Chain A
């Protein structure tokens, strides 16, 4: 009982911090927080592939980028398109891309899956550069109108204002993260982890491994599309080097690893840690990627379970009797 109450209090405090954040920290840090939240969702969609299903994708940026481009192009071309249909277009575009690719991708796993996603990600990058009439080439799509958040007859909020955008983004991203979290708790989520641990056995138990992989892939891609779409709205610009670049595919991998891929909230922590590092590193050096690369190497070498694993290691070892050696051996 006590535990449940503490949990509720924690959630309320977290919510309060989220609501008051723009007033407490001001304009600059609010924008940083929005980017952090976008990447948190993006990293979570990546983690349901890697951490939950055991599929390492090296081209996740293609869905992020497709979502972003679809929303941006739709808002640019269609006059007076409302906000939610624009995001929906981003979601659908990412899902369509996933549907096209998944017949090919679900047949392979491991390194072949990684290489295929990498190759298709690069292909999308090239296409975004070459199809100038649609994507604007290197310049990307920018300066499109951002429609207000509008519920007819009730409310109309201008989200071009950073504070309003913050609340809007938090709502969309929060709901998305909650839906993904909910999915991982369903029986379907258990099949997912089953595939990660022993695909052959799941197959013998009568579950369709390839179908499940395809569905997971589509869900993950769709939400990555949403994160890209929010990103495009936030920047009012989406460009090939920003969205489709291979570095953008590696970003969620690093976040997931730093945070801990075994845990659902690991990627969020990882995204937070990396935004902080990014923010600090840009003040001292131009070569931010050097710092992230070194961190990646260090994490893999010395903390392969990431920050979440580190936390549970401390929990197991400090809050139990020292003589309880089995727990320690297990974590090691």
Chain B
């Protein structure tokens, strides 16, 4: 295999891995938005918190797998608490209040992170089994990126099973389309909301742990990935999981190849893509007409 193809393929893997991470973050956002019509600005902060919790658990236990399990659950728990004790209280004041509340939560998380862990970037090492390169058919693939892609697909599968095959999933889907009606049927919708918020932030936490070895863990992390996730959401159309998946992959690849070919303009590519999409479809690629 000639080196040019190898370069293309490896950039493709990088793009795909980043796209999957974006999807993990964006899917949580989409779930929460579809269900409660809240755009969780603090979502990116929860994502960053996942990375920091991973560092903390890693430095206490030294086991990456434990932190992959524990850190996202801690983040999800915090998210559920945040829904129960903050968001639910301001629900009556409308969406602007909820939106701004999440802004406040995001600020508090960001500043707390700076207090507890400082502003310098923290090192996180991958367990040896995930290091190195995998050789298949003369091409080399970085194992950790493949691991991220696999992990995301597993979570995607579990989520799809949960949403479409279980009773609770049915309730969630029902509440997405008409929360009042589900409430009237005698189901405790606030608890479902709390659960969904917890699962959404848990997904962000998983993404945070997943990227922590390959991206620098520092307080700017939330801005960096969070903005991309929001752009994914806007481009895909709010509340569409399928759209979020497709657009995340497109953006991941756009980012990877953009860095390779037009490195100066790489960050602008995504926004231009978004602007073009919105110029023709104001509700996003897969958004429903309001």
Contact = CB atoms under 8 A, between A and B. Distances in A.
Interface in B36-64: 37, 39
Given A118-B230, A120-B271, 9 more contacts: A104-B278, A107-B282, A108-B282, A112-B282, A115-B233, A119-B271, A290-B108, A293-B105, A304-B90
A4 interface: no
Interface string A80-107: 0000000000000000000000001001
B90 A300 contact: yes
A287 B233 CA distance: 31
A70 B96 CA distance: 32
Nearest to A261: B96
A112 B33 CA distance: 12
B114 A301 contact: no
Interface residues of A, number: 34
Contact of A296 (B33, B103, B265, B282): B103
For chain B, give the interface size range: 35 or more
A287 B114 contact: yes
A253 interface: yes
Given A122-B271, A246-B223, A304-B97, A253 B278 contact: no
Contacts of A172: none
Contact of A290 (B107, B268, B274, B282): B107
A56 B39 contact: no
A293 B107 contact: yes
Contact of A56 (B96, B111, B271, B279): B96
A212 to B, nearest CB: 18
A122 B234 CA distance: 14
Contact of A301 (B90, B115, B234, B268): B90
Interface in A97-145: 104, 107-108, 110-112, 114-116, 118-120, 122-123, 126-127, 130
A114 B234 CA distance: 10
A250 interface: yes
Contact of A257 (B100, B108, B110, B231): B100
A289 B111 CA distance: 7
User: Which label, helix, strand, loop or mixed, suits the secondary structure of the B interface?
Assistant: helix
B238 A297 contact: no
Interface in A239-260: 246, 250, 253, 257
A118 B111 CA distance: 21
Contacts of A294: 104, 108
Contacts of A293: 103-108, 110-111
A172 to B, nearest CB: 30
A292 interface: yes
Given A250-B103, A297-B104, A301-B90, A119 B234 contact: yes
Contacts of A296: 100-101, 103-104, 107
Interface string B72-90: 0000000000000010011
B115 A130 contact: no
Interface in A299-315: 300-301, 304
27 contacts: A108-B283, A111-B37, A111-B39, A111-B99, A111-B238, A112-B234, A112-B238, A112-B284, A115-B230, A116-B234, A122-B227, A127-B268, A130-B264, A130-B265, A130-B267, A130-B268, A250-B107, A253-B100, A257-B100, A289-B111, A293-B103, A293-B107, A293-B111, A296-B100, A296-B103, A300-B93, A300-B101
A301 B227 contact: no
B260 interface: no
Contacts of A111: 33, 37, 39, 95, 99, 238
A287 B282 CA distance: 39
Instruction: Please list the 9 inter-chain residue pairs (A to B) with the smallest Cβ-Cβ separation, ordered nearest first.
Output: A293-B107, A296-B104, A290-B111, A297-B104, A293-B108, A107-B282, A123-B271, A115-B234, A287-B111
Contacts of A246: 223
Interface in A246-280: 246, 250, 253, 257
Interface of A: 50, 56, 104, 107-108, 110-112, 114-116, 118-120, 122-123, 126-127, 130, 246, 250, 253, 257, 287, 289-290, 292-294, 296-297, 300-301, 304
B65 to A, nearest CB: 33
Contacts of A250: 103, 107
Interface in B251-270: 264-265, 267-268
A116 B267 CA distance: 16
B183 interface: no
A104 B275 contact: yes
B279 A104 contact: yes
B101 A301 contact: yes
Contacts of B125: none
A130 B271 CA distance: 15
Contact of B89 (A119, A120, A301): A301
B283 A300 contact: no
B121 interface: no
B103 A253 contact: yes
A73 to B, nearest CB: 20
Interface in B175-202: none
